[in-house]
Amino acid sequence: MGRSPCCEKVGLKKGPWTPEEDQKLLAYIQQHGHGSWRALPPKAGLQRCGKSCRLRWTNYLRPDIKRGEFSLQEQQTIIQLHALLGNRWSAIASHLPKRTDNEIKNYWNTHLKKRLTKMGIDPMTHKPKSHALGSGEPKDIANLSHMAQWETARLEAEADNMLINIPNVGLICDNALLTDVNYVGNLGACAIVKASDHSYQDEQLKGIMENSMQIEDPNSSTNYVSDSLRFPSFVEDGYTDLPNATGPADDNVGAKEMCPTHESCGLFSWMKSTFQQ
């Protein structure tokens, strides 16, 4: 049998907070700080348990909270970090200034999880569903092991406050089934936008592609790439072995290998070989 709830005491209120209660809590904390949460409610004149007060403050009343729709950049970050950290919402929240772990958790459960599932991606493993359990072949096991090592290295670097800067990848192609944030294994996020939908892709990509590189699908008949987003500076800095990334429309050897999830395509291999050093 578990411990009895902290609000079991007679007279303690539960449920939604009223504006009056919010005001009392806010005023008290602004004046005295929260101190001991357990001791706070009677001092603030609230018929709540300390836990409820703490939750209300951290998830709603804190002045440094950003509310409202998640930007594409934020969505991308959540997906990336979830692939890396799993359901460690507070750790994920620490990378998203002004967002609470509760809000991120809700957003993941109600939006992102469903979206990944719809895209045929297992939201827990971040792998295509058909590959979620792996084939059991030595090659797959080796890959998983390699990726695990890579993630470990990343986590260690993160702990040292030296987060490795892995670029995100944008792919514009005519036959894209996806018009949203995707991912490339656990290495980076990938924005796939249908090339013919010029009306929104520029703004959409700008949101996603901050500090990102962009790869144009050479198979695209439209070949639309916004100049402002065209080809990253780091390609000029030496990353020149992209799989046809900068090639003309008919230079499509690598692009033919592109797949919706990029798990096994040239893009994925390229990222692995380039960044797993």
Cα distance between residue 12 and residue 193, in whole Å: 52
User: For DNA, which is the closer residue by CB, 56 or 262?
Assistant: 56
Cα distance between residue 150 and residue 112, in whole Å: 24
* Residues with Cβ within 8 Å of residue 216, at least 6 apart in sequence: 171, 172, 223, 225, 245, 246
User: For DNA, which is the closer residue by CB, 86 or 248?
Assistant: 86
| Residues within the interface to DNA (CB under 7 A) | 2-7, 13-17, 36-38, 48, 50-52, 54-56, 58-60, 67, 87-91, 101-103, 105-107, 109-111, 114
User: For DNA, which is the closer residue by CB, 58 or 246?
Assistant: 58
- CB of 242: closest distance to DNA in angstroms? 36
User: For DNA, which is the closer residue by CB, 87 or 149?
Assistant: 87
- CB of 5: closest distance to DNA in angstroms? 4
Phi, psi torsion values for 221, nearest 5 degrees: -80, -25
**Alpha-helix runs per DSSP H in the chain:** 19-32, 40-44, 50-56, 72-85, 89-93, 101-107, 113-118, 138-159, 198-208, 233-236, 266-275
- CB of 51: closest distance to DNA in angstroms? 6
- CB of 26: closest distance to DNA in angstroms? 13
- CB of 7: closest distance to DNA in angstroms? 5
* Residue 79, CA distances (Å) to 96, 109, 152 in order: 12, 12, 18
User: For DNA, which is the closer residue by CB, 100 or 214?
Assistant: 100
